[in-house]
A and B are shown apart, each in its own frame.
Chain A
Amino acid sequence: MIKVKNLGKIYKAGAHPVVALADVDLTVKPGEFVSVMGPSGSGKSTLMNLLGCLDILTSGSYLLDGMEVSGMSETELAQVRKLKIGFVFQAFNLLPRMSAIRNVELPMIYAGVAPRERARRAAEALEKVGLAQRMSHRPGELSGGQIQRVSIARALVNNPAVILADEPTGNLDTRSGEEIMAIFQELNRGGATIVLVTHEREIALHTSRIVHFRDGRLVEDEPVAAPLDAREHISAAVPVGQAGSNIESGGEFGR
């Protein structure tokens, strides 16, 4: 799905160029769930921006879903973002004045999906993340965990080749984080390819593989033999019967 070779990124800010990434080789197979770890400033976000076609790589090559991305024009990159990539941000990045369902519809507007089909698919995606009952709420009326679930619905609604999540649990408490991981795991079981950045090893252990970065280099590629199952954590943390209390009925999670 993702095949990166000799990837390098140099920021030319001010007098001293910053080497944010150097010589990164990384392959993510279809259906893989990979987490990226590393200290602050090690280039994790830079990598995600490059994988997400938000930024242009300085050197190396990047094959996404069989397409060479390096050398593409900005318009072509926008096209790739809209059709192949689903973003989940640490800061959520929903449009605050729009309802949850309008937010989820947004990527489909740019993809040219017809309004009725859009509404149907957005509702479906929100159901999938357990927010069937919160569709017309604005972000301000939702909890952090719920907001992040809306943004996951938004990321998956165009059926992207890969979902990129930069510290999606970074702004959430452990409990909400587990819920988010449960959703990612469910999506991954459904075949989704996911790359996720995290600072917490606990979170990373929910994925099938951890790649470690230091000073812009990939230093270790660690397979996870037996990934944790977030569903067990959620049900273990609260008494039986309240397991789904934070997750709306109608969703597939938390049951």
Chain B
Amino acid sequence: MNLLESVRVALEGIMTSKLRSFLTTLGIVIGIAAVIAVVAIGQGGRAVLMAEMEKIGTNIFAIYVDWRSDKKVTGREFNLSDVAVIKDKVPDITHLSPVNNSLCDVRGPKDQKTGRVIGVSSDYFYIRKFNMKEGHFFTEEDDAGKRRVAVLDEELAGQVFGRAEALGSIITLNSTPFLVVGILAKSESALGFSENPGVYVPIQAWQVMFNSQVQELEGSAASKEKVDEAMGQAVKVLERRHQTPGKYAGMSMEQEMQAANKITGIMTLIIGAIAGISLFVGGIGVMNIMLVSVTERTREIGIRMALGARRRDILVQFLIESIMLCLLGGIIGMALGAGGAYLIAKLAKWPPLVSWWTALLAFAFSAAIGVVFGLLPANKAARLNPIEALRRE
């Protein structure tokens, strides 16, 4: 008996009891669907995250006080002249800005909000590649003159000004009046959080309001390839100037992307493994029902043997039946999983990612489950004695 015949005989076996066959393979359906969906969602999420980070800029970096360092934090780790010196000594750094953050009371004509006040230099505009909706970002002169000018993000401007014209108007930050010179355009983020929280003011004006510290530095390098090297040099300059080796740490977007990549990869793997366990359970389900089926079909097996089927023919028949059952479940599961992933991706506005290799892997995997969990029942069937099998009711 050739393979094609075996497949046909097995298909007849499956089709004679459709509902039971479907229920048998339900575990496989669910297992494969879960694996496919989890991997697709994981990959889609990762792709979105990467695109998002790439949009922010792959050539940017931040330098901050290393929290793992055992040295005491004095608040004097950075100062404004550091920025100028680093830019001078590291030519691959195109822009560099101090970044200070604080919460404060933001009051406009319409409403009052607690917002983030971020003190930066004019370079920050180029580092973050901001888009202006109205007006302009503050200039180097604004900063040097400690002018009280502010750039609001669109959301905050809407909240504190309402319909009133914000540009050219006055807001107060902790009761200090600032002139609004620019509104940042809202950046479309698929991840759902805004990149422009709050209000940007010149670093020196910020220092007048709060304190004279510089919290950290952000900068951009000439290219993504040069960013890690340039950042390292900047850290060295800082260590030399402040005589504090090991106190600073840098993180480039490149490194952050790698880390994020690794984390999403591990998450996908873990959840995928859990889904994989459900596949295993599904395989045991198939084996169970196949064992029952062999018992029920003992007489059929006896008849086939009397008509000339070898033990091998019987073994192959049941093995193929189990493989086809699992493949059937695999295909249904794949469709369900891909459909589910597509739906979730659509809701989350992610690109739906069902890669051909996941599909192929799921296909191969369900076939393998069919073989592994079909062997025991098929072997049981093939070992039957024809006379005893024929006598069985």
Instruction: Give chain A's interface residues, CB within 8 Å of chain B.
Output: 49, 52, 54-55, 74-75, 78-79, 81-83, 87, 89, 93-95, 97-98, 102, 106-107, 109-112, 154, 158
Total A-B pairs in contact (CB under 8 Å)?
63
With contacts A54-B387, A75-B312, A78-B310 known, is A95 near B300, CB below 8 A? yes
| Given contacts A109-B9, A110-B1, A112-B1, A93 and B308 within 8 Å (CB-CB) | no
Which residues of B have CB within 8 Å of A154?
307
Contact B307 A106 (CB under 8 A): yes
Interface range, B side: 20 to 34
The answer to whether A93 touches B312, judged by C-beta atoms less than 8 angstroms apart, is no
For chain B residues 12-32, which have a beta carbon within 8 Å of chain A?
Answer: 12, 16
Across the interface, name the chain A residue whose C-beta is closest to B391: A91
Q: Helix, strand, loop or mixed for chain B's interface?
A: helix
Cβ contact of A106, chosen from B16, B302, B304, B390, cutoff 8 A: B304
Whether B387 lies near A81 (C-beta < 8 A) is: no
Asked whether, in the complex, the Cβ of A93 is within 8 Å of the Cβ of B311, the reply is no
| Interface residues in B293-307 (C-beta closer than 8 Å to A) | 299-300, 302-307
Q: Among B16, B300, B308, which residue has the most Cβ atoms of chain A within 10 A? A: B308
Of B5, B306, B307, B311, which is within 8 A of A75 by CB?
Answer: B311
**B12 contact set on A, CB distance < 8 A:** 97-98, 102
The 7 closest A-B pairs by CB, nearest first: A82-B308, A110-B308, A78-B310, A107-B307, A97-B16, A81-B308, A93-B303
The residues of B that contact A81 with a CB separation of less than 8 Å are: 305-308
Asked if residues B303 and A110 are in contact (CB atoms below 8 Å), the reply is: no
**Which residue in A52, A79, A109 is a CB contact (below 8 Å) of B5?**
A109
5 pairs of residues in contact across A and B, judged by CB atoms under 8 Å = A54-B390, A55-B387, A81-B305, A106-B303, A154-B307
Tell me which residues across on chain A come within 8 A of B312, comparing CB atoms. Answer: 75
Complex Cα spacing A162 to B387, Å: 19
Chain A neighbourhood of B300, CB < 8 A:
95
CB-CB < 8 A to A109: which residues of B?
1, 5, 9
State whether the Cβ of B313 lies closer than 8 Å to any Cβ in chain A.
yes
Cβ of A75: which chain B residues have Cβ within 8 Å of it?
Answer: 310-312
- Binary flags per residue of B296-335, CB closer than 8 Å to A gives 1, else 0: 0001101111111111110000000000000000000000
Query: Taking chain A's interface residues, is the majority helix, strand, or loop, or is none over half, making it mixed?
Result: helix
The answer to whether B2 touches A110, judged by C-beta atoms less than 8 angstroms apart, is: no
Inter-subunit contact B313/A110 (CB<8 Å) = yes
A49 to B391 Cα, complex, angstroms: 12
**Besides the known contacts A110-B307, A154-B307, 14 further A-B residue pairs in the complex with CB atoms under 8 A apart:** A54-B387, A75-B311, A78-B305, A78-B310, A79-B310, A81-B305, A83-B308, A89-B390, A93-B303, A95-B303, A97-B12, A106-B303, A106-B307, A110-B313
Q: Is the CB of B308 within 8 A of A107?
A: yes
B42 within 8 Å of A (CB atoms): no
Q: Is A74 within 8 A of B311, CB to CB?
A: yes
Question: Would you call B307 and A82 a contact (CB within 8 A)?
Answer: yes
Q: Chain A residues with Cβ under 8 A from B310's Cβ?
A: 74-75, 78-79, 110
Q: What is the minimal beta-carbon distance from A153 to any residue of chain B, in angstroms?
A: 13
In contact, B303 and A112 (Cβ under 8 angstroms): no
How far does the alpha carbon of A82 sit from the alpha carbon of B1 in the complex, in Å? 11
Q: Across the interface, name the chain B residue whose C-beta is closest to A96.
A: B300
> B308, A54: Cβ atoms under 8 Å?
no
Specify the chain A residue showing the minimal Cβ separation from B299. A93
For the complex, give the distance between the alpha carbons of A112 and B1 in Å. Answer: 5
The answer to whether B390 and A93 have CB atoms under 8 Å apart is: yes
Q: How far is the CA of A98 from the CA of B1 in the complex (A)?
A: 19
B386 touches A54 (CB 8 A): yes
Shortest Cβ distance from B309 into A: residue: A110
CA distance A83 to B5 in the complex (A): 18
What residue in chain B is nearest A97 (Cβ atoms)? Answer: B16
CA–CA, A186 to B232, complex, Å?
101
Asked if A78 and B299 make an inter-chain contact with CB atoms under 8 angstroms apart, the answer reads: no
Minimum CB–CB distance from B154 to chain A (whole Å) comes to 70
Instruction: Return B13 CB to nearest CB of chain A, in Å.
Output: 9
B306: chain A residues at CB < 8 Å are: 52, 54, 81, 87, 93
With the chains together, A54 CA to B385 CA distance in Å? 9
